[in-house]
Structure 1
Amino acid sequence: MPTTGHTIKAFDQDLDRLRASIAEMGGLAEAAIAGAMRALIDRDVNAANAVIENDARLDALEAEVERQAVQVIALRAPMANDLREVVAALKIAGVVERMGDYAKNIAKRVHAIEPGADLQPLSLLPEMARITGDMVRMVLEAFIRRDPEQATQVSERDRAVDDFYNSIFRTLLTFMMERPQSITAATHLLFVAKNLERIGDHATNVAEMVYFAATGTHLAEREKGGDPARG
């Protein structure tokens, strides 16, 4: 079937809809991370419940992106660069949905921590959450703009998230040894830090997809920091 101006315009509109859905997912994931951390800091169960309930919107958007991407491939038969972008959108939607799941997991910790628990090390987590939220925002902007340079910057920022996780792990370990009564609460905080670290990893995975979709080449593999939990 010959390519016409009408076909090209329709395909561009399809891509715009895909990008808009991905952008909405990214905004929801970033808001979920920030909301879960606020709920944890404030020990606000109602705010935590809101984060948990809002995750259903991310699930629905992922399904919508999948439907849109399959339809575009079936109807438009995109090639080369265009096909890479559609496939990237399909993969990115799944990764962003998992980011939302990690934020939901953080919100669930609010229910698990006893009201009177000593959460002194909690002060280390908000900055780590801010960086991961920024990575989510930046990498989705890179996808919308097809910007490989910004995707590279996101990948490089993951080192800071890894460093935060390693520092928090050691701080919490010391805290638990000095205050055995705090072990349960500190363990919940450790899971929060691990969830944030995984969000950073997923943002880096998206950055790699964005880079490949934009350039057709793979982003150089980044050396990760060691996980102290693995020895």
Structure 2
Amino acid sequence: MAIRTTLDKDLDRLKDLLIEMVNLSKTAVEKSVQSLAHQNIEMAEQNIEEDQKINDIEEKINNLIIQLIAQQQPVASDLRTIIAGLKISNDIERIGDLAVNIAKSVIHIGAGPLIKPIVDIPRMADMALDMLNNVIKAYIEKDIELAITTAKADDEVDALYGKIIKELLELVPSKPDSFNQISQLSFVARNLERIADHTTNMSEHIIFMVKGKNVDLNA
């Protein structure tokens, strides 16, 4: 009974760390896109520095999982929960890195005039963040249907990504001097598209955690 109680506490700790980590990653994405919209270089630089907080939590999760496996020897659903937690933390860490990439693009673009109003990129960020909000809810509630629905939203993100890239490429012939900015805005959109992909991965890990089945929601 004491072993089960300890295991439950450790699993709750794992869940709390993952929630903390995903909240930090959401904030990082929000700040990176805000820094672009307002061309706030200082905010972008601060966002890059704060990525270390996400990395630190991932390390705590890794250490906790090593301890759990070594000391508790979990089996069945408990082991799946631990493995899923490890995979989810890796995806969240990558989302934090992608937010850093966006912030770096903001710095490269600088404070000069933008070639077009920044409208679709924040919209794309909102869609990706909605997915992230839903996937962590699905994780907490072990809601497979919500996980599947969340993954399906990736198609809308992909469609908007395609639209943004098409419009940016169409600007190249008339604005050759702005090629650097066009490239950086393309990178930003690509990083947001990758954030949605990592969220889809998280949905797959949730299904594995609950059902013990490996599924491909990108198909």
1:129 partnered with 2:125: yes
Aligned to 2:47: 51
TM-score by length of 2: 0.96
Amino acid paired to 2:18? I
Write the letter of the residue equivalent to 1:208: E
User: Taking structure 1 as reference, are residues 220 and 93 closer, same or farther at Cα in structure 2, changes over 3 Å only?
Assistant: closer
Note the aligned Cα RMSD (angstroms). 1.3
Match of 2:195 among 195, 199, 202: 199
**Does residue 172 of structure 1 match 2:183?**
no
Pick one of 57, 82, 88 that aligns with 1:86: 82
Q: 2:212 aligned to 213, 216, 225, which one?
A: 216
The 8 Å contact of residues 39 and 110 in structure 2, kept in 1 or not, is answered as no
Alpha-carbon shift at residue 8 of structure 1 (Å): 1.5
Matched, 1:182 2:182: no
How far apart are the structure 2 equivalents of 1:186 and 1:89?
A: 37
Unpaired stretches in structure 1, ≥5 consecutive residues: 224-231
- Is 1:38 paired with 2:13? no
Could you tell me how far apart the structure 2 residues matched to 1:121 and 1:207 are?
33
1:15 is matched with: 11
* Count of equivalent residues: 219
Question: Which shifted more, 204-213 or 134-143?
Answer: 134-143
Which of the residues 123, 141, 159 maps onto 1:163? 159
Contact kept? 1:23, 1:140, Cα under 8 Å: yes
Structure 2 CA distance for aligned equivalents of residues 109 and 218 of structure 1: 35
Report the Cα offset of residue 213 of structure 1: 0.6
Report if aligned partners of 1:11, 1:72 keep a CA contact under 8 Å in 2.
Answer: yes
User: Tell me, what secondary structure is at the counterpart of 2:13?
Assistant: helix
Identity score, percent:
35
Q: Is the 8 A contact 1:139 1:154 kept in 2?
A: yes
1:61-140 equivalences in 2 (<5 Å): 61-120=57-116, 122-140=118-136
Q: After superposing the two structures, state which structure 1 stretch, 211-220 or 122-131, moved more.
A: 211-220
Q: Is the partner of 2:31 in helix, strand or coil?
A: helix
CA distance in 2, matches of 1:38, 1:94: 25
Matches of 2:39 and 2:218 in 1, distance apart?
Answer: 36
Q: Which moved more, 1:151-160 or 1:137-146?
A: 137-146
Distance 2:141 2:29 in 1: 23
